[in-house]
Amino acid sequence: MFWPVLVGVFVAIIFNTFAPAAKAGFLSFLENIFSAGASNEANYNSQNIPLLQAPQTSDPGAVGGVSMDFVEDSAILPVVGPLGSIADVDTYKLDQITTYTVRAGDSVSEIAKMFGVSTNTIYWANDLKKGQVIKTGQVLVILPISGIQYEVKKGDTIKSLAKKFKSDEEEILAFNGLAPGGSLAVGETIIIPDAEVTILSVSGSFGSTARLRGAGGPAIDGYYIRPILGGRKSQGLHGFNGVDLANSCGTSVYASAGGTVLVARSQGWNGGYGEYVVIAHPNGTQTVYSHLSSVFVSVGQYTVQGTTIGTVGSTGNSTGCHLHFEVRGARNPF
């Protein structure tokens, strides 16, 4: 109450004493003071009083970026990485190769459970020994293994099972962590990679045989180019929608379509692929180039169609110089 009275008295003195020009200047001065005060009060309120309203976006339909969830003020790592570096488990496709970056507290068994594969799949595809400890930050390749689970019976041997299911002895040994020449225990469960099984017809009689593999997908005309020049197709469709293209070791291997390198392994068995490259394409498909003798690209690199990504070799589970080429998510045109 004191300040308004004092200001009123002061204004009255000014109006009775000074000239009109001075009166106008003084009124302007007072107006500026009160305007500044009101502005400061408004600013104070907007900065210090929480507004009880939902957050607004300039475009309610906008999407983009990587979504993070927060729990107790801690950011949970984003589930989706641009290259699968933190794998998108929810949208993981059974016919696609992906990668997973190990986080603190992870174990091989937990990762295997997330992707619905066996622990041996992870050991086998990453050249890990059974029981080997994985490290935070380590990048694991998750291969969608085609095969069957089999319970060992009396008289079974690796050789007899490989013959029965038209599989490969070395593949069975490597996948199950078995030593060459070792015996199988009756009742033991093993995985037979790329097994060929007999399918029962509706009537219950034995029908045709089929390999448990990716069935390909839609034909995408003109999207892929042949990954090598010359040579010949030494084996037709087999494994996971793959073909073998034979040529001399050292022959250039080209990116069949443009995309981002998801996997580039320049050493190791790698589940039988040996040295290999996986490229993820914008149309959602992947191409795989395996048994290479050298790899020229690195993970995360974008390659245009026709880029030289490596050379033909015979690494991994291979006999003779050739390229094993797979298309995942679409029909293999070769």
237-293: pLDDT as tens digits: 776 778 999 999 999 999 999 999 999 999 988 888 899 999 999 999 999 999 999
Question: Nearest-CA neighbor of 281 among 259, 261, 303?
Answer: 259
pLDDT score for 130:
82
Decide: 236 and 210 in contact? Cβ < 8 Å: no
Look-up of token digits 């041997």: 157
**Mean pLDDT over residues 199-222, rounded?**
49
Decide: 313 and 292 in contact? Cβ < 8 Å: yes
Q: How far apart are CA 136 and CA 106, in angstroms?
A: 8
Q: How far apart are CA 224 and CA 208, in angstroms?
A: 31
- The string of pLDDT tens digits covering residues 186-201 is 888 787 877 654 433 3
Half-sphere exposure (CA, 13 Å, Cβ side) for 187? Answer: 0
Q: Is the dihedral of CA 230, 325, 260, 258 positive or negative?
A: positive
pLDDT score for 292:
97
Torsion of CA 196, 201, 204, 205, to 10 degrees: -70
Question: Nearest-CA neighbor of 126 among 267, 14, 20, 302?
Answer: 267
User: What is the maximum alpha-carbon separation in the chain?
Assistant: 123
What is the DSSP secondary structure assignment for residue 316, as one 8-state letter?
S
What is the DSSP secondary structure assignment for residue 313, as one 8-state letter?
B
Confidence class for position 299, pLDDT limits 50, 70, 90: very high
pLDDT score for 39:
45
> What does the domain layout of the chain look like in residue ranges?
2-48, 70-142, 147-211, 232-328
Measured CA distances, 147 to 14, 95, 172, 206 (Å) = 100, 13, 10, 19
- The string of pLDDT tens digits covering residues 73-117 is 222 233 333 333 333 444 445 567 888 999 999 999 999 888 888
pLDDT score for 96:
78
Per the DSSP assignment, residues forming a β-bridge with 189 are 151
Q: How far apart are CA 65 and CA 82, in angstroms?
A: 10
Is 70-142's fold the same as 147-211's?
yes
- The string of pLDDT tens digits covering residues 48-81 is 333 333 333 333 333 232 222 222 222 223 333 3
CATH 2.70.70.10 for the 232-328 domain, yes or no: yes
Question: Nearest-CA neighbor of 191 among 238, 143, 152?
Answer: 152
Question: Nearest-CA neighbor of 284 among 257, 253, 249?
Answer: 257
Residues 6+ apart with CB under 8 A from 103: 77, 86, 136
Please state which CATH number belongs to domain 147-211.
Answer: 3.10.350.10
CATH superfamily of 70-142: LysM domain (3.10.350.10)
Which amino acid type is present at position 322?
H
**Mean pLDDT over residues 147-164, rounded?**
85
In 64-167, which ranges are continuous DSSP H helix? 108-115, 119-125, 158-164
Decide: 194 and 220 in contact? Cβ < 8 Å: no
Q: How far apart are CA 212 and CA 198, in angstroms?
A: 10
Which is it for strands 259-265 and 286-295: parallel, antiparallel or unpaired?
unpaired
pLDDT score for 217:
62
- On the question of pLDDT at 28 being above 80, the answer is no
